[in-house]
Amino acid sequence: MGYAWPGGARLALSVVVNVEEGAELGIQDGDAGPEPVDELGIAPRKPVRNFGNESNYAYGINEGAPRVLGLLARHEAPATFTAAAVALERAPQVAAGIVAGGHEVCAHGWRWVQQMGMSEDDERAFIRKAVSSITASTGTRPVGWLSRYLHTPETRRLLVEEGFEYHMDDYSRDEPFIDRSSARPIVVLPYALDSNDMKMWNAPALTPRDWLAYACDTFDWLLAESASRPRLMSLGVHLRIIGRPGRIGAFEKFLQHARKAEGVWWARRRDIAAHYAGVASAG
């Protein structure tokens, strides 16, 4: 299918900010154990509260969010905030900042937990709770969905039935596509794990300079490819990771690098999905 991005742009750049802090696993919320995703890789073997890791997540709300929101504002960079609904419930100041900045909130679950193993009824309820909560927190219904990686075979069908316009749980290509396997077509906007700042947690040897070089190399390659076909680049970051003083500068340098290029459409994912759905239906 031949298509183009708005304004003659060749590359759509999607900045994705994950908001999970406050919605992660914890026995204080009735979970079987504490959140295992920890920058130090320390996971208690007993079901006890990991107060250290809880405060590490809280850093994303207290310090990371103002830094990230301020940086996006200074560079006039629209972003999609993939938010676990409970995270915004517990940090209304972050929800207000996202709305004030003109950004989009995409549903990242009701809580930041995996959907794998949920029954169809439980998963549908999980999706509906996320929609209701995010709508209450932001005043706008989310139209996109990103799971905590592991989801069920029914997830996309349920999203279609619940009125979602796009789904992010895909890593198969560098452009959108349409999934017509359900009662209604839905746009799939592939995400990217290789350029995600989570690598700086999972691979401690990876420095912010390494991450920046990889992100810029990704951008440059896709921009060059876009001379012959439209391309999509996703760059995923987290408040508690990129929002650190030693990392936030790398994020700014990427934004500065991308701003120098011509033919780039900086866009929220809901806008990318809406545009692509329009050209797909016309084609």
Q: Is residue 1 in a domain?
A: no
How far is residue 280's CA from residue 221's CA, in Å, rounded to a whole number?
25
Structural domain that includes position 278: 6-282
Strand spans (E) along the chain: 11-19, 79-83, 104-107, 144-145, 166-167, 177-179, 186-188, 231-238, 264-266
Q: Is residue 58 in a domain?
A: yes
Which candidate, 138, 35, 146, places its Cα nearest to that of 88? 138
Q: Residue ranges of the chain with pLDDT lower than 70?
A: 1, 283
The count of structural domains within the chain is 1
Q: Are strands 79-83 and 104-107 parallel, antiparallel or unpaired?
A: parallel
CATH of residue 166's domain is 3.20.20.370
C-alpha torsion 142→143→148→151, nearest 10:
130
Q: Is residue 46 in a domain?
A: yes
216: left (phi over 0), alpha (psi -120 to 50) or beta: alpha
SS (H, E, C) 206-240: CCHHHHHHHHHHHHHHHHHHCCCCCEEEEEEEEHH
Which candidate, 247, 255, 218, places its Cα nearest to that of 234? 218
Please tell me the predicted confidence (pLDDT) of residue 132. Answer: 98
HSE (side-chain half, CA atoms, 13 Å) at 242:
31
Please tell me the predicted confidence (pLDDT) of residue 283. Answer: 66
Please tell me the predicted confidence (pLDDT) of residue 119. Answer: 98
Angle value at C-alpha 244, between 87 and 251, nearest 5 degrees: 95
Q: Are 57 and 90 in contact (CB under 8 A)?
A: no
Q: Are strands 231-238 and 264-266 parallel, antiparallel or unpaired?
A: unpaired
Burial of 181 (0-12, 13-18, 19+ CB in 10 A): exposed
